Structure 1
Amino acid sequence: MTSKAERTTAFIIEKVAPVFNKQGYIGTSMSDLTEVTGLTKGAIYGNFENKESLALAAFEHLSSKLLAAIDDRLTGGGHTLDILFRLTDFYRHYDEFTAPMGGCPILNVGVDAQYNNRHLLGAARETLRTIEGKIALVLENGVNKGEIKLPVPPLQFAKQMFTMIQGAISMATISGDRKYLLNTIAYLEVLMKREMNI
């Protein structure tokens, strides 16, 4: 059973995570945080050392949700291409998944923190590397089982895949046109079939 303090901490993180994700570290004020939580500044900072620790906890919360959703697609049986297509299908609807979060946490926090918070930037980079590693593991297992072939090492292919996905997310977000995402995912699936089929 969780304590009252743990429940309060979880409540704060849940409420402030989309605010930090949408408005950025610098752009989020203490009044934004008190407004969204309904708590006083003292009550918030009774649970967190400072704004940075709260922002990091908020990012980790969103990152954990994203990684869990990706794990759901990458685990389970099936041919390697089927597993990868479950992932691309997830990203085909990524804007719907991230809407309650305030958008893509990797994109938002990674760009926002680039020049103002190295700890948040480091956390975003770590999440990015984790996702690339998860994709690379699926690819490596597929090669080892003889289900797919790759023109380059698994991690390099995973990085290129994720670059295309994350680039499409960026373009769809900036332009407000989800066709960037849909068309890139469709092309990526064609590319995977062509490049990987034995």
Structure 2
Amino acid sequence: MSTKAERTTAYIIETVAPIFNKLGYVGTSMSDLTEATGLTKGAIYGNFENKDSLALAAFEYNSKKLLSEIDDKLSSSGTSLQKLFVLTNFYRHYDTFIEELGGCPILNIGIDANHNNSQLLAATRETIKTIEGKIALVLENGLNNNELRLPVTPLQFSKQLFTMIQGAVAMATIMGDRKYLLNTVTYLDQLIVREIKK
């Protein structure tokens, strides 16, 4: 059973994670955090060394949620090709999934941290590499099982696939138009069939 301090820490992280994600590291003020949690500055910093450690914990909280969802999609039953379609279908509805997170943690925190917080940027890059690796593993298994063919290495194809997905997420977010995401995912489904299906 968790202690009161552990429950308070978890509550703070869960509460502030969407705020940091929406407003960014620099844009999130202490009053935003105290207002959301109902705790004093002293109570928050009694659980975290500083704003940096709290922001990192908040990103890791959102990142774990995203990685868990991607794991769930890529570990579904079926062929490697079917798993890729489960993943693209997840991204077709990604805007709904990220709503409670305060937006896409990779896009929001990655861009915000690029010039403001090297620790957060490193954590975002690590999350991207992890996702690319997970997709590459599905592709590699597909090659080994003779289910698909690849014009490049699994990791290279994975990176290109994820780049297109994240680009679509960025455009849909910036333009406030989910068609950018829907149209790109539809195109990716066609590309998968045309380029790598055996």
What fraction of aligned residue pairs are identical, expressed as a percent?
70
The code of the aligned residue for 1:19 comes to: I
Q: Show the counterpart of 1:170.
A: 170
The code of the aligned residue for 1:165 comes to: I
Q: Secondary structure of 1:152's match?
A: coil
Distance of 2:114 and 2:152 partners within structure 1? 30
The code of the aligned residue for 2:26 comes to: I
Q: Secondary structure of 1:39's match?
A: coil
Distance of 2:85 and 2:175 partners within structure 1? 25
Q: Show the counterpart of 1:7.
A: 7
The 5 A counterparts of 1:1-198 are 1-198=1-198
What is the CA-CA distance between 1:196 and the residue it aligns to?
A: 1.0
What is the CA-CA distance between 1:79 and the residue it aligns to?
A: 1.1
What is the CA-CA distance between 1:76 and the residue it aligns to?
A: 2.9
Distance of 2:197 and 2:71 partners within structure 1? 24
Gaps of 5+ in 2: none
Q: Extract structure 1 runs of 4+ deviating beyond 2 A.
A: none
Q: Secondary structure of 1:170's match?
A: helix
The number of residues matched between the two structures is 198
TM-score, normalised to structure 1, is: 0.99
Distance of 2:92 and 2:184 partners within structure 1? 9
Q: Can you list the C-alpha shifts for 1:113-170, whole angstroms capped at 9, x where unaligned?
A: 0101000000010001100000000000000010110000000000000000000000
Distance of 1:197 and 1:90 partners within structure 2? 20
Q: Secondary structure of 2:177's match?
A: coil
Q: Can you list the C-alpha shifts for 1:38-71, whole angstroms capped at 9, x where unaligned?
A: 0000100010000000000000000000000000
What is the CA-CA distance between 1:81 and the residue it aligns to?
A: 0.9
Distance of 1:63 and 1:181 partners within structure 2? 20
What is the CA-CA distance between 1:77 and the residue it aligns to?
A: 2.0
Gaps of 5+ in 1: none
Q: Secondary structure of 1:17's match?
A: helix
